[in-house]
Amino acid sequence: MIKKVGIVGSTGSIGRQAVDVILRNKGAFEVVFLSCNSNIQELQKQIALLKPKFAIVLDGNKGIKKIDNTKILHTISDLLSLISTQEIDLLLSAAVGFSGIRPTYEAIKSGIDVALANKESIVSGGKILTYLAKNTGSKIIPVDSEHSAIYQCLMGNDKDKVASITLTASGGPFIKRPDDSLSFVSVEETLKHPNWSMGAKITVDSATMMNKGLELIEAKYLFDVPAEILNVVIHPQSIIHSVVSYIDGSTIAQLGYPDMRTPISFALGFPERVNSGVNTIDLAKISNLTFYEPDFNKYKCLKIAVDVLKSGSNVLMIAMNAANEIAVELFLKRKIKFTDIADIVEKTVYSFAEKEVSDIEEIFEMDILARQTSIKICKTEYGV
């Protein structure tokens, strides 16, 4: 049976690799719509290859009405309407940042399965989205390599028998760099990830290890597990993607080369496996796998995220995510130092009381307030 797919964020790193997987599996997928922010050139290429009925360009430029036989729409309302009205089996939610929460929410509300690459959706609205999914029957299939690994390691096992879940982290480009030199690193150095090819925002998050903090929170909600069984280990080779240990002493790990097409293909094809274009591992050629405890002095963003996770407050989670997005954008624009990112996040987070918001509109309001708070901190303390 052909699976009908909508892709939010099709021109980003995850979206482009998803298109590659879809093209490798002729006849398995029909793309109903694509959406992007502003990369019309890449979108045109994808339209020529996939021939979707619709495409959405959200940059506010409404001059383009049609590309080939694909109707071009331009607003978030158009996108949400397509999700709720078109016949779609799976939504790939691959937009970057908090903006991905609305289409994710709309798909789950409509009972559509979601291949989730937008971790910020779950970090900010995890309890609401997972509760809604249980009621609508929507499956949330993670695309992050770590959560895809955990998902696979849990399959066929009793979750109540899990002793611990360990997410692996590469350590980013500065794993061997002394702590006291990090304030001098450049944007270019930060964007040179040793293992993965990703977009700018997630690559910076990998360097600060905020991505791993977000992933810990995401794991708590996706798998409905207590925070105390979740932990992180640095694994520079990025071959083991996550590990689940059980009370009988068994430990199950998922291995693969560091290529996002593997978890993307798992999520797109689920419950079947499809061709990803990635080679299987040759164990004889892997000479050494190493593991280290993360250094919280170097990775301050990870420490903040761990503390926020332990608090259980989604207000702090929303504030942390919003502040991180603001700070990373300023760093990429060369307006603050690399080490300022963690400081801005910490100051923003602790401007808020630990509490819970339980309505989707409240989450959006909290996000706006957190961004305003973060921007004020950046202006008054960093002059930007």
Q: Is 311 exposed, middle or buried (0-12, 13-18, 19+ CB in 10 A)?
A: middle
Quick check: helix, strand or coil at residue 375?
helix
Give the confidence band of 204 by pLDDT, cuts at 50, 70, 90: very high
Provide the CATH number for the domain formed by 313-384 in this structure: 1.10.1740.10
- pLDDT value of position 348: 97
Can you tell me the mean pLDDT for 172-199?
Answer: 85
| Amino acid letter, residue 116 | L
In the CATH hierarchy, which fold is given to the domain comprising 3-142? Answer: Rossmann fold (3.40.50)
Nearest to 306 by CA among 331, 341, 342, 332: 342
Lookup: tokens for 297: 């002095």
Q: How many Cα neighbours within 13 Å face the side chain of 131?
A: 7
Q: What percent of the chain has pLDDT over 90?
A: 81
| DSSP assigned state of 288 | -
Q: What percent of the chain has pLDDT over 70?
A: 99
Q: Quick check: 16 pLDDT over 80?
A: yes
Pairing of strands 113-116, 29-36: unpaired
Give the confidence band of 121 by pLDDT, cuts at 50, 70, 90: confident
228-250 pLDDT, tens digit each:
999 999 999 999 999 999 999 99
Kindly list the domain boundaries of the chain, sorted by start residue.
Answer: 3-142, 144-258+279-298, 313-384
Give the confidence band of 177 by pLDDT, cuts at 50, 70, 90: confident
| DSSP assigned state of 184 | G
The Cα angle at residue 142 between residues 98 and 130, in degrees rounded to 5: 70
Nearest to 348 by CA among 332, 380, 364: 380
Quick check: helix, strand or coil at residue 7?
strand
Q: Quick check: 60 pLDDT over 70?
A: no
